Amino acid sequence: MTEVTPLLGNNNGSVTSKTYNSVILDLNYRLLLFYNNNDRKWNSLKAILRLLLVFLVSTFIVYLTLKICLPPLNEEQKKLIRLPSGIEDLQLLNKVLEQYMDQYYYSVMIVYVIIYIYLQTFSIPGSMWLSILGGALFSLVIALFLVCLCSAIGASNCYLLSHKFGKSFVKDKFSDKLDRWAEKLHSHSQNLFNYIIVLRLSPFPPNWFANIAAPHVGVPLKIFFIGTFFGVAAPSLIHVQAGSTIEHLTNASDFKIFSFTNVLALILIALAALLPVWIRRRFEKAENELNDGNNQVENNNNPPVAQIV
């Protein structure tokens, strides 16, 4: 009796083997994704816990600074020692501190510097009011220098914390913004210092985002620090000047930080910071056009090889 061979052959074994292998590969892929996601979540959790520890230690340092450096205060005065949230709070706090400025000048200055850096490091709102308070407590030059220095140190601290603990978080949460900002930085790579100065004068992107994003888009810490120091000088000057008037105000509604003159001054300063960039690009463009013209003249003067032959 003749054995009949199936036209399609007996592929049940090979089909079963292929199905089994695909299931195993899919299972391995899912397990790999699961472990990778868990590993990323664990790393993010560890970074958050470490950042929380840094925050708690910093808060404790601020508390010790207040306990050690602040002059002896009565109960009513202690109630007024808090971060100001408006002009009334600022006036009351200034009245308390100015009583001790002659005897505890440097102690008050140390407290002011530590708290200012603390706010900037962790992007806590209130630094504007501290800048105004600095203008009320110190001379114009000293207050402006302290505000610029504290802003640069605090922003650099935030930069370092983001670089150390916030890489995965920042890249996961702000990936699109990081990509767009990285493109802008690439176009300003030769004028990065001027760009950082203008960045501090403009509200976009916000300062807190610039602080945490800068280490992840290739901004060097040195340029970031110096650019921040000079970039905050103009708006800080306005705040410090406003602070020198708060003790003479009789009505809080008379207090104005930004006026038409101040805003115009900020715009002019931003244009002054961009002027060297514009000049440099004009020179580079002229130099490139000159080089292209020289190359074209040389090509016209040199006959083709075919003509020489």
Residue 119 lies in a domain: yes
H-run or E-run covering 99: none
Quickly tell me which residue has 């109630």 as its tokens. Answer: 79
Short-list 108, 104, 130, CA closest to 117: 130
Quickly tell me which residue has 């130099």 as its tokens. Answer: 287
H-run or E-run covering 258: none
Residue 240 lies in a domain: yes
Residue 233 lies in a domain: yes
> Do the beta carbons of residue 200 and residue 231 sit within 8 Å?
yes
Q: Which domain holds residue 61?
A: 41-282
For the chain, which ranges sit under pLDDT 70? 1-41, 203, 247-309
Work out the angle at residue 205's Cα, subtended by the Cα atoms of residues 203 and 211, and round it to the nearest 5 degrees.
110
Q: Enumerate residues 6+ apart whose C-beta is below 8 A from 250.
A: none
Residue 292 lies in a domain: no
Quote the pTM value.
0.74
Residue 30 lies in a domain: no
| pLDDT of the residue at 122 | 94
Quickly tell me which residue has 């800048």 as its tokens. Answer: 131
Residue 120 lies in a domain: yes
Short-list 257, 253, 252, 231, CA closest to 242: 257
Residue 250 lies in a domain: yes
Q: How many CA atoms lie within 13 A of 231 on its CB side?
A: 24
Number of structural domains found in the chain = 1
State how far the Cα of 166 lies from the Cα of 159, in Å rounded to an integer: 10
Residue 61 lies in a domain: yes
| pLDDT of the residue at 258 | 56
State how far the Cα of 49 lies from the Cα of 238, in Å rounded to an integer: 38
State how far the Cα of 233 lies from the Cα of 140, in Å rounded to an integer: 12
The reply to whether omega before 205 is within 30° of 0 (cis) is yes
